[in-house]
Structures are given as C-alpha cells and as structure tokens.
Amino acid sequence: MRSRAFDQAASGTTDLFGALASALEARVLAADQAGPGPEHVRLLFDPASVELDRLREGLTIGTRSPRVAELTGPRAALAALRDEVPAAAVLLAVHDAAHRPRVRARILGVVNVTPDSFSDGGHLPTPERAVQHGLELVHRGADLLDVGGESTRPGAAPVSAEEELERVLPVVDALAQETDVPISIDTTKASVARAAMDHGATIVNDVSAGRIDPELLPLVAERDAEVVLMHMRGTPRDMQGGPLYEDVLREVTEHLRQRVAAARAAGVATNRIAVDPGIGFGKRLQDNLALLRRLFELRSLGLPIVIGVSRKSFLGALSGTEDAADRDFETVAATALACAHGADVHRVHDVDAARRALAVAEAIRTGGSAC
C-alpha cells in the first residue's frame, strides 16, 4: 500500500473553514515564531462585529486601522472565552493550527513530460526516459513524485485531455510499479486525474484548486485521494495579465480557505488536503517575496503547505540569471528559507540539492534534528 503524503502532516487539523472563520479571516502573525511571551494574532474584522465587541471583554485590543486590530494576550485568555465567544474559539483554533508540530520536510520531485515547460520542457522525450528520471529522483531523496503532461508556465496554451493522457499515463503506470513513493498527477482535468489514479497515482495536484473542472473535487472525494489546492488567478494563459493585490497574504489565504471549503463540501476529508500559495502564478515579484516572507501565516489554515519555487522567473529577476535551468543555487536559498517559514512539502527539480539544503535548514530550525 503506497503511503499517504499528507495524513501525518495534517494531524490535529481543526475546523477552520466555516462561515465564522471565513468572515473573520483570522491569522497568526509570523512574530509568534519568536518564542515564549505574548501571543499576537491579527484579526481582519467587520468593525460592527458583535463577536469582536465580546472579545474586547477578555483581550487587550489596539486598533491600527479601520479593519485591522492586533489582539494581544496569553493563549489562556482565548481558552477562557472559547465556550462563550465563538470568535475566541476560532482564534484559539487558528493559534493552535499555526503552532502544530511540524513533520520532516518532504520533497516532491518534478517529472515533466511536456515539450514546453519553462525550465525542462522536452528534456524527457520518451516515457522510458521520464520513468528513469523519476526513479533517479527517488534514489536521490524524493519523497513524492509529481508527473505533469500540460505546461502551466505563464502564457501556456491548454492541451486536450487525450494528449495529456498520452503523455502521462505510461509514466504514471510504470513509476507506480517500480517505486512505493506516492505519485501525484499534476492536472486540472478530472478525466486525466481519474485515469492516472486508475494507474497508480494517489495525489491530484491542481493549480486551479478545482475551479477549472467542477468534477475534479468530487472525484478526489470518491477515490479518497489526496489533493493539493493552489492559488492562481485566471488560467496559466492569462494569469500574468496585470495581477494586483492590496494584501497578497490575506487574499491568497481567503482564496485557499474558500477552495478548502469547496473540497470539503465535495466530500474530501480534511486530512487529504494540502494548500499551495502559487508562487509565480499570477503574482508580481513583490507578491512572491511577500508570500515567502510571511508564509508562516498560511499555517493558520491548519493544513500542510506545498511550495514550488524551483527555477522560477522571480529568482532570475533577483539574481540576473536568465536561463531557468541555471537557477538551482537560487532555488536552494529560497527552499531553505521556505522551510524555515513553514513549508512542509517542497516541489523541486534538483532533488539532491534540495535534500541537502533542507537537512541544514531543518537542523537549524529544530536545534539539531535534521530532516
């Protein structure tokens, strides 16, 4: 039996996807990582909220703007109000979700069988070569494999389900027979996901989070599969057409909260879900940097965080490296920092470099226990 990818990482998940949580959009500030001391929770709220008024009775609040307040007080204050004030229960759940114990960082190795992916398109021209590459990634330390047959680079045109299936099915089938690591199918199409799962895939990595094909999330539920829900505005073809955010973390978090709620409504178990902020998918340079810098806030959802920074263009913009295939040094730096800021699963091309970088990052983060 192929092992689950997210069960362990999602242990202790709390119910943070109801109407109250969505309305409050409560998130724990990255400052909470500092250690013992006052706990700071940022709460976006309706100024007329009765729940907020009742929270004032038990917590000290300093308003910074018409819609943002910083609540300061020990966890015990939230616990004391939990049974009486629903908003306090949500905040307590958010705090505990953000501070849940983290499992060892995991590596999701990329197996692209596309002719036009941004960094490795056409590098695996035959199923045999793709399978060999996937097995090599496992040998080098990949915990999971992600097989994709349709490019999602900015401006990429969609391909038919038939063409996508022709590319991925032989690879998924052979890898499922040759290795026990979980296999992810990188697709937005329910028909492709269904066939891939018939051939051994157990995870669906959907860059649209179930928006493009409404049949995908019910299929995941039916198969009791795992799913990665990613934030993306629009489609790969148009996502970079002038993206604009007021607060990228708030907007990405709320979008993911809504997509998780949609998955749960379709019958997907919470411990089968992971979230991905979508680095490079409808984001400006400053948006990507803000997401990585404040990644810890996404842990308030209580779900494993998948991050994909490998060789992306924002890294080239920072270092001046135009060739995407030559951005592995930049990838290592971003991967290590993403690990420190809360990422659980790292989608990378160079597995060996990521494994060594994460071993160091995890040892520093935990005080000596390498991943």
CA–CA gap between residue 16 and residue 161 (Å, rounded): 35
Q: Alpha carbon of 120 to those of 92, 111, 128, 284, 310: distances in Å?
A: 44, 9, 16, 23, 11
Compute the distance between CA of residue 137 and CA of residue 37 in angstroms, rounded to an integer. Answer: 42
Tokens in use for 57? Answer: 């009775």
Q: What is the CA radius of gyration of the chain?
A: 20
Known catalytic membership, residue 347: yes
Instruction: Count CA atoms within 13 Å of residue 64 on its CB side.
Output: 10
- One-letter identity of residue 15: D
207 exposed, middle or buried (CB, 10 Å; 0-12, 13-18, 19+)?
A: buried
Alpha-carbon span 371 to 143, nearest angstrom: 12
Query: What is the C-alpha to C-alpha distance for residues 164 and 189, in angstroms, rounded to an integer?
Result: 9
Instruction: Report yes or no: 155 and 149 within 8 Å, Cβ to Cβ.
Output: no
Q: Are 219 and 196 in contact (CB under 8 A)?
A: no
Q: Distance between CA atoms of 284 and 306, rounded to whole angstroms?
A: 19
DSSP per-residue string spanning 283-329? --HHHHHHHHHTGGGGGGG-S-BEE--TT-HHHHHHHT---GGG-HH
Coil vs helix vs strand at 112: strand
Our measurement of the distance from residue 153's CA atom to the centroid of its chain's CA atoms, rounded to an integer in Å, reads 17
Q: Which residues of 274-312 are buried (b: 16+ CB within 10 A; e: fewer)?
A: bbbbbbbbbbeeebbbbbbebbbbbbbbbbbbbbbbbbb
Candidate list 312, 327, 355, 365, residue with the active-site label:
312
User: Could you give the residue numbers annotated as active site?
Assistant: 312, 347
